[in-house]
A = this chain, B = another copy of it.
């Protein structure tokens, strides 16, 4: 059965996807390959590409085709790719056309200026430099929220851009449960005497590079569909599916590049295993930031900080860095890379205390949007909560409220997806371990194909066909639930912390 309006709609979104893949490639190039002198040209290139994509997507022609396919859509199996494509395109279209293009331009400009202001403020460790840009960002976010009317609370609108159809109230319940548990866990932490000093030292970059390639090869991606490059702030970019661009950052004083590579591998695998027939369309990516993060966290933390993986891989690491690790046995190494210790900076936090950094931001973002905190008081409020949640004294704004770029860029609603990813990663992990009981024995033998294939068959191939929580339920039988994650933390770190 064919429908000519649907064919036209598919052709249209396929071309928009082509351009979006180009935009992603161009963004990757800017961070990884572009000579600095190209920045001014690149700003124009990206702005024009964004404009063209937006104009093509929001043109009345898209709306007309969506109207035309509606009767046909009712006849389709809701599980089919075509039905999903229509559903998602309609949703994206209806969101896109609500926002006037002038507001969009204002947001884009304010975002790029806000990032500049943030960089200067952080450099000077002076929040007042960021304040005007932040005020502008919040003002524009409020105008953006005003474009919508279908929400329970205003913050829902922002969250929806990063985690579609997730409600603030649901996140709040999950985070409140985690907060209660983690606060008492963190307050109970003593000095466990674990030593991780050997993780800082001299790790030659060329050997790190070889090892990062080796671990990605070991975990496995489709051949000739990826590359790994060095960049300052690692990410996975590029067109996606059969062309994923993994990045990491090599610092010769530590092994962060290695854990970072495993993290980015998780993102890359998700993109890599989306069903090929979805690749040239809007369904052809990972489902949401939260589900994407569930995959990166799984490979970084559940696999990559697990004993079975290191049972297999630690000899390779030792022989690569004998000066540094020759005298360190597996048990000491394992404890060191799993040390729980409250700290100042989110991106360096361990897997337990990390979530308190997120909860703090999630609370402050709602306070900003609901007008419960004056923006000028943000540093004070930040520092108070860092003390309350983590027992950490913030020495200055650069190491406090200014540590992350997100707010300067106007990205409010993004942070929570990191912890949602942590939570969902263990829900998925519990399920795969039920279905593949010898998973850990496989890891000890250096075999990761069963996990990779399970994830591909159950989660990755679906792409964006269903909303994130629906997708999670298809994979695990349940919507988001913090209990598996809290059990995991308690089993892994509970005994440890009291040693």
Closest residue on chain B to residue A19 by CB atoms: B48
Known contacts A14-B44, A44-B18, A239-B45; A227 and B33 CB within 8 A of each other: yes
Contact check, A41 vs B224: say whether CB atoms are below 8 A apart.
Answer: no
Is there a chain B Cβ closer than 8 Å to A21's Cβ?
Answer: yes
Contact check, A37 vs B243: say whether CB atoms are below 8 A apart.
Answer: yes
Q: Pick from A22-30, A94-102, A156-164 the stretch touching chain B.
A: A22-30
Nearest Cβ on chain B to A320's Cβ, whole angstroms: 21
Is there a chain B Cβ closer than 8 Å to A450's Cβ?
Answer: no
Interface centre among A21, A22, A238 (most CB of B within 10 A): A22
Known contacts A22-B26, A25-B29; A37 and B227 CB within 8 A of each other: no
| B-contact bits for A8-44, CB 8 A (1 contact / 0 none) | 0000001100110110011001000111111011101
Nearest Cβ on chain B to A303's Cβ, whole angstroms: 23
Is there a chain B Cβ closer than 8 Å to A242's Cβ?
Answer: yes
Out of B25, B35, B226, name the residue touching A26 (CB < 8 Å): B25
Residue total for A at the interface (Cβ-Cβ under 8 A)? 39
Is there a chain B Cβ closer than 8 Å to A91's Cβ?
Answer: no
Contact check, A40 vs B242: say whether CB atoms are below 8 A apart.
Answer: yes
Chain B residue numbers with a CB within 8 Å of A26 are 22, 25-26
Is there a chain B Cβ closer than 8 Å to A497's Cβ?
Answer: no
In the complex the two chains form, what is the Cα distance from A242 to B36 in whole Å? 9
Chain B residue numbers with a CB within 8 Å of A29 are 25, 29
Is there a chain B Cβ closer than 8 Å to A59's Cβ?
Answer: no
Contact check, A38 vs B280: say whether CB atoms are below 8 A apart.
Answer: no
| B-contact bits for A196-232, CB 8 A (1 contact / 0 none) | 0000000000000000000000000011111100000
**A to B CB contacts below 8 Å, 22 in the list:** A18-B47, A18-B48, A19-B45, A19-B49, A21-B41, A21-B45, A22-B22, A22-B49, A26-B26, A33-B33, A33-B227, A35-B224, A35-B225, A37-B225, A38-B242, A38-B243, A41-B241, A41-B243, A41-B279, A41-B280, A44-B280, A52-B56
Chain B residue numbers with a CB within 8 Å of A15 are 48, 51-52
Nearest Cβ on chain B to A209's Cβ, whole angstroms: 15
Interface centre among A14, A33, A49, A222 (most CB of B within 10 A): A33
Out of B40, B45, B242, name the residue touching A41 (CB < 8 Å): B242
Chain B residue numbers with a CB within 8 Å of A25 are 26, 29, 45
Chain B residue numbers with a CB within 8 Å of A35 are 224-227, 242-243
Nearest Cβ on chain B to A274's Cβ, whole angstroms: 12
Chain B residue numbers with a CB within 8 Å of A49 are 18-19, 22
In the complex the two chains form, what is the Cα distance from A222 to B255 in whole Å? 36
* CB proximity to B under 8 Å, residues A166-224: 222-224
Contact check, B44 vs A243: say whether CB atoms are below 8 A apart.
Answer: no
Out of B14, B34, B45, B238, name the residue touching A22 (CB < 8 Å): B45
In the complex the two chains form, what is the Cα distance from A438 to B373 in whole Å? 71
* CB proximity to B under 8 Å, residues A301-345: none
In the complex the two chains form, what is the Cα distance from A129 to B225 in whole Å? 31
Chain B residue numbers with a CB within 8 Å of A280 are 41, 44
Chain B residue numbers with a CB within 8 Å of A224 are 35-37
Chain B residue numbers with a CB within 8 Å of A239 are 38, 41-42, 45
Chain B residue numbers with a CB within 8 Å of A279 are 41
In the complex the two chains form, what is the Cα distance from A279 to B44 in whole Å? 11
In the complex the two chains form, what is the Cα distance from A497 to B82 in whole Å? 72
Chain B residue numbers with a CB within 8 Å of A18 are 44-45, 47-49
Chain B residue numbers with a CB within 8 Å of A48 are 15, 18-19
| B-contact bits for A251-268, CB 8 A (1 contact / 0 none) | 000000000000000000
Chain B residue numbers with a CB within 8 Å of A238 are 38
Closest residue on chain B to residue A280 by CB atoms: B44
In the complex the two chains form, what is the Cα distance from A89 to B37 in whole Å? 27
Closest residue on chain B to residue A34 by CB atoms: B243
In the complex the two chains form, what is the Cα distance from A29 to B30 in whole Å? 12
* CB proximity to B under 8 Å, residues A466-494: none
In the complex the two chains form, what is the Cα distance from A243 to B227 in whole Å? 22
